[in-house]
Amino acid sequence: MKKLKKIILLTFIFTISCLSLFNTQAAAEKYGGQIVLASIADASTLNPAIESDSSSNNINNLVFDSLIRLDEQLQPQASLAENWTISDDNKTITFKLKKNVKFHDGVEFTAEDVEFTIFSIVDYKSNSMIKPYYDSLLGAEEYFNKISQLNKLREENVISGEEFTEDAEKAFKDFKNAGGIKIIDPYQIEFNLAEPFAPFITVALDLGILPRHILEGKDINRNQFNTNPIGTGPFKFIEWKRNEHIVLEAFEDYHQGRPYLDRVIYRIIPDQAVQITELRTGGIDYMTQPPPEMIAILENDPDLNILQTDTVSYNYFGFKLSDSIFEDIKFRQALSYAIDMESIVENILMGYGQVATGPFPTSMWAYNPDVKRYPYNPELASKILAEMGWQKNQAGFLEKNGEILSFKLETRQGDYLKEQMAVIVQEQLADIGIKVEVVFAEWTSFLVRLLNANYETVILNWRGSADPDGYAYTVWHSSQFDVRNNKRYKNERVDELLVKARREMNLEKRKIYYDEFQEILAEEQPFIFAYYVDQVFVVNDDYKGWVPTPQREGILLSLKNVYLEN
Amino acid sequence: MYIFIVKRLLITIPIFIVISLILFTLINLAPGGPEAVFMGENISREAAANIRANLNLDKPLPVQYYNWAKAIIRGDLGHSLQTGESIWSLISTNLVNTLILTFSAFILALITAIPLGVLSALKENSIFDRIVSFLSFIGISFPPFWLGILVIMLFSYQLRLFPASGMSVYGLENNILNRLHHLILPAFTLAVVNTATFIRFTRSAVLETLNENYIKTARAKGLNENIIIYKHALRNALISIITIVGFTIPSLISGSVVIETIFAWPGLGRMAVNAVFQRDYPLIMGINMIVAVITVFSNLGIDIIYTIIDPNITFD
């Protein structure tokens, strides 16, 4: 009996060791190879603190790591952090950091790098776009207000450049000393908020950490570092040939284990038709958002794999609400009935999208599907307009008090889907007698007109950060007229709900506020929420391990786990 | 001759000043600035003012121009507003890439166009002439972007003979065969339009010279036909050919945006267009000034070549 037991035990041990040997071999086989990614546009800076375009973001997500990263449900997961705790009053968040995390130059990552990164961003001298993410930190609001006050004084020549610098430096120092960020020890850092702010972790801490030992005391806007970055991410930077490619290689000491692939080549190929040819002939292994009409063809290619996921953006047909004709809710509802969104999704997006119902993409936990919808009904639209006193004239256009119902519709030049949608909207509104002039506007000058509310109607899309707040407060609160609420929307109940929602930490309670907010917007139609475009990625079928997430090209965060299958 | 060259060089100084002033004004008249590009849809008034101040764009325009010009005299083209990189290094790498492409295409165009043009002129109205004329008309009428896509569809996708885009494969940058392999399609596409134009000009220039009285005289005195053509006709026809070729030289430097975009060629043309869309003022100025300098000097070069080819033309 004893012998038998021994034999069984031995057999068991033998099998286990064989299996584990087999396992390590299988894992070893996953290592190696390279992948070529394609992008329409080149990056502009490889410094995550001042990046503003998606190509830069793609590369920075690979070279830099962050305290947290968002998962497929857009919930924060620890990355450089071990874990975090939130105090009972919801105003103090303490992060415990991982030990033995190395930058690509071998220096250890500590809490000082986190503090340095955030101070570099909020520094009034930096060109960072994400300063507002940190306005909930203790002392931040006072600091930002002071800087904007000083900016105004300098513009009006009340104070000189030197006086500005002196006062601004002092305000910045005061903010640093206000205790918004406190280093407890090299592996613990505390964030103190002026008031509870639910989106803080998701929005403010999903951020590439800069190496303090390289950048301290230097100008981060213009620095060699920005074309030669060093981070703690899974891939380290090798070379950047402008308008040609960016090359990264696996970082052996990555704290979550070395990525499988040896090398990543990010090629800049501006023409999508050429990207498709390269993909089918093996020149590249990955592309995003192929033209919808091409997807069916690519699906038939056995060497390619199509990955699809939700998005965190929505497209809309927006109005300047202070214009007299767009003030009336009934008029906006009539427009909603007059546009056949279903057919736009079917015929322009080829089904790779959904009709939008409100300001939150379906991928967000705050999304509320039970709101008023406006199915295509041109008769009803005509009836509403007739009730408002608009009569058809001999030419077939609606007229009231001798004035024809007409407006200008602008969209971004070169954005193929939006251009097509603009033309369809023009046709469908012409059917009920509204004259629409479509303009494809050059982007940079268009942006300035948006800021100055110098437009009538637009077709655009909105992409906020991963928390609903970036789709709600910043876009619809009446305090944001000079910022992102350039359509001038104002509703007191909405203002109240949005403030409550950003102060509430409990997701379920937050959702109640957001549900009501979405019902109000659906009723009032301050925008016609048009559609959500699915994210579509086409990859070479030899590469496995992708995890698409709703964040824009969030799929690239999974590149560290992607491997080449033989 | 040296006095002529020095005089010409002195004239270029006011030309450059005027060009730069016009450019600077035009660029700054365009609505929207780099701060809008930085911020995208997150644009806000305050942040915009802050960024303009950081980029020194809050100073009055004459002051900005003065600062730019002062730096230029020291040979400093400044830094890109978008990336902070030195403009000289950005331009020089991309200029080399552009020259590789445009000069290959240019030489390809010249060596096909001149013999074909001369032959069609000599065999005026023959079948050969008609075929060449027909082909060159097609070449002129092809929109380059469409031709580029067709060429990629055929040679890259169907026949798999050439790569569709890029300058080389990473790791093989110094392999001349790999570089040539990538160069052939874009150079061919770019050459087509120039070839067609050069053929038309060569043909008409040669025909025109053949009708000149001195050719008739030469024929009347019984000169060997080969000598008439190669020594008298061609040499005189070359002057008008060189003029048209000279006109295309600036485009060799500024590059072809369309071809560079389709074939993902990292050249100066693409960089210039991106710079305009991104309102990268110093980069736009830098690229345009370099193109202006080269244009002015290539014109000077052409003038010197005239005097070598035609002794009738002097430096007065």
In chain A, what residues touch B278 (CB-CB under 8 Å)?
Answer: 44, 444
pLDDT in tens, A100-145: 999 999 999 999 999 999 999 999 999 888 888 999 999 999 999 9
- Please judge whether A242 and B271 are an interchain contact, meaning their C-beta atoms are less than 8 angstroms apart: yes
How large is the C-alpha radius of gyration of chain A?
Answer: 27
DSSP symbol at A376: -
Find the residue in B nearest to A263 (Cα): B170
Cα separation, A431 vs A415, whole angstroms: 25
Q: Which amino acid is at A65?
A: D
| Residue A279 touches partner B, C-beta closer than 8 Å | no
How many CB atoms within 10 Å of residue B183? 20
CB B84 within 8 A of CB A226: yes
**Closest residue by Cα to residue A267 from A238, A289, A287:** A287
| Residue A228 touches partner B, C-beta closer than 8 Å | no
Cα separation, A161 vs A167, whole angstroms: 10
Q: Which amino acid is at B87?
A: I
Q: What is the dihedral of CA A310, A312, A314, A320, to 10 degrees?
A: 170
What's the whole-number average pLDDT of chain A? Answer: 91
Find the residue in A nearest to B44 (Cα): A483
How many CB atoms within 10 Å of residue A389? 10
- Please judge whether B83 and A131 are an interchain contact, meaning their C-beta atoms are less than 8 angstroms apart: no
Nearest to A244 among B43, B90, B167 (CB): B167
Tokens of B196: 């067609």
In chain B, what residues touch A283 (CB-CB under 8 Å)?
Answer: 163-166
Tokens of A57: 């973001």
Q: Which helix (H) or strand (E) holds A96?
A: strand A92-97
- Please judge whether A460 and B163 are an interchain contact, meaning their C-beta atoms are less than 8 angstroms apart: no
pLDDT in tens, A215-234: 999 999 888 999 999 999 99
ipTM score of the complex? 0.88
Tokens of A233: 């991410």
- Dihedrals φ, ψ of A549, to 5°? -125, 160
Tokens of B48: 């915009």
Mutate to test the interface with A, among B26, B35, B44, B54 (most CBs of A within 10 A): B44
**Closest residue by Cα to residue A58 from A235, A274, A200, A316:** A235
Tokens of A289: 């958002």
- Please judge whether A127 and B38 are an interchain contact, meaning their C-beta atoms are less than 8 angstroms apart: yes
Q: How far off is chain B from A162, nearest CA to CA, in Å?
A: 13
Q: How far off is chain A from B197, nearest CA to CA, in Å?
A: 27
| Residue A57 touches partner B, C-beta closer than 8 Å | no
Give ∠ CA A86-A87-A89 in degrees, rounded to 5. Answer: 120
Q: What is the pLDDT along chain B (316 residues), one digit of tens a residue?
A: 788 888 888 888 898 999 999 999 999 888 888 888 887 777 777 778 888 888 888 888 999 999 999 998 888 899 888 888 899 999 998 999 999 999 999 999 999 999 999 999 988 889 999 999 999 999 888 888 899 999 999 999 999 999 999 999 998 988 999 999 999 999 999 998 889 989 999 999 999 988 888 888 888 888 888 888 888 888 888 888 888 888 787 777 776 889 999 999 999 999 999 999 889 999 999 999 988 888 888 888 888 888 777 777 776 5
| Residue A171 touches partner B, C-beta closer than 8 Å | no
pLDDT band at A536 (very low <50, low <70, confident <90, very high): very high
Q: How far off is chain B from A236, nearest CA to CA, in Å?
A: 16
What are the CA-CA distances from residue B31 to residues A404, A485, B277 (Å)? 30, 21, 11
Tokens of A333: 């509802």
- pLDDT given for residue B59 in this prediction: 84
Cα separation, B152 vs A299, whole angstroms: 21
Long-range contacts of B300-306 (CB under 8 A, 24+ apart): B300/B5, B300/B8, B300/B9, B302/B242, B302/B243, B302/B246, B302/B249, B303/B8, B304/B1, B304/B5, B305/B242, B306/B239, B306/B242
- Please judge whether B266 and A242 are an interchain contact, meaning their C-beta atoms are less than 8 angstroms apart: yes
What are the CA-CA distances from residue A142 to residues A75, A137, A151, A173, A176 (Å)? 30, 10, 14, 12, 12
CB B148 within 8 A of CB A226: no
Mutate to test the interface with A, among B26, B28, B38 (most CBs of A within 10 A): B38
Cα separation, A508 vs A497, whole angstroms: 14
How many CB atoms within 10 Å of residue A279? 25
Nearest to B156 among A44, A281, A463 (CB): A281
Cα separation, A225 vs A384, whole angstroms: 60
| Residue A33 touches partner B, C-beta closer than 8 Å | no
Q: What is the dihedral of CA A554, A555, A556, A562, to 10 degrees?
A: 150
- Please judge whether A274 and B90 are an interchain contact, meaning their C-beta atoms are less than 8 angstroms apart: no
